[in-house]
Amino acid sequence: MIEVSGLKKSFGKTIAVNNVSLNIKDKEVFGLIGTNGAGKTTLLRMISGILKPNDGNIFVDREKVYDNPEIKENIFFISDDPYFFPNSTGEEMKNYFKSVYATFDPARFDRYMRDFGLDKERRISNFSKGMKKQLAIICGVCAGTKYLLCDETFDGLDPVMRQAVKSIFANDMEERGLTPVISSHNLRELEDICDHVGLLHKGGVLLSEDIESMKLGIQKVQCVFRNDEDAAKALEGLNVMNHSTRGKLHTITLRGTRQETEDHFRGFEMTFFEILPLTLEEVFISETEVVGYDVRKFIID
């Protein structure tokens, strides 16, 4: 488990991370959402032990990570812009990581290089951006670490490769208890794989919630009432997060279970009623608007 409390990091007068606290449970996919500049990369670099916080604590399996080689053996960080030794090949990077991580699996590395269509004898400097991302992911997965920290991992990958990587992550979570932490500025990218999502904005955490719990506790209703009087009565007693109308059609986002919502509206005569599935983006928009933020201003589709 990764535990972060009161974390702060600044570079000169620029505050990159400001009082961040969150918990990342084992064997879950944790999604870290936010635009560029929100503090995601800095946070991941501190969790991996690359950067030292100005204040606060980071515990990985109840041990502080900075200047702790034993704990770092359980962490692999994949940067948004992966670094490889100058003029190196995939084979040379394999041998390097094999010397760093006792759990590195060279046979698996060779197999994935073939499966991904990458030449391990070719100089990495001649790889495309997407190929470099694929190689970095292969190195990270084959390192066999418990925690895999991924900074914009899917950026630059085509849809087929994205699905392949997600499948590899899912398999490793099942077989060896991998815990991926994936940062992104794209909510839709992470919706189908994340168990828990944290939203960063201006260096702080706006929200950190379990996805299923969020979705179960928020309902999106579309309905058409017989008259305006019924519409007004129906809204009474509801914990409404968002309400909009288009002609006679009401769209209401509210807190409560599906059963509670159905029971409430059953007492009103309507010409149309349905409960719609919520996307992760809609959940976050609703949650953040309640606390005074318009998430649409800083989350990229």
212-239 confidence digits (pLDDT tens): 877 788 899 999 999 989 999 999 989 9
pLDDT digits (tens, 9 = 90+) for 122-138: 999 999 989 999 999 99
- Residues 241, 194, single domain; the answer is no
Which of 209, 238, 261 corresponds to the end of one domain? 209
Q: Which of 204, 223, 211, 205 is nearest to 261 (CA)?
A: 223
Which of 158, 183, 209 corresponds to the end of one domain? 209
Number of domains in the chain: 2
The mean per-residue pLDDT over the stretch 79-99 comes to 95
- Residues 84, 185, single domain; the answer is yes
- Residues 201, 110, single domain; the answer is yes
Q: What angle do CA 37, 42, 43 make, to 5 degrees?
A: 110
Q: Which domain holds residue 276?
A: 217-297
CB neighbours of 274 closer than 8 A, spacing ≥ 6? 221, 222, 223
pLDDT at 220: 93
Q: Where are the beta strands (DSSP E) in 39-116?
A: 55-60, 63-64, 75-78
CATH code of the domain in which 203 resides: 3.40.50.300
The pTM for the full model equals 0.82
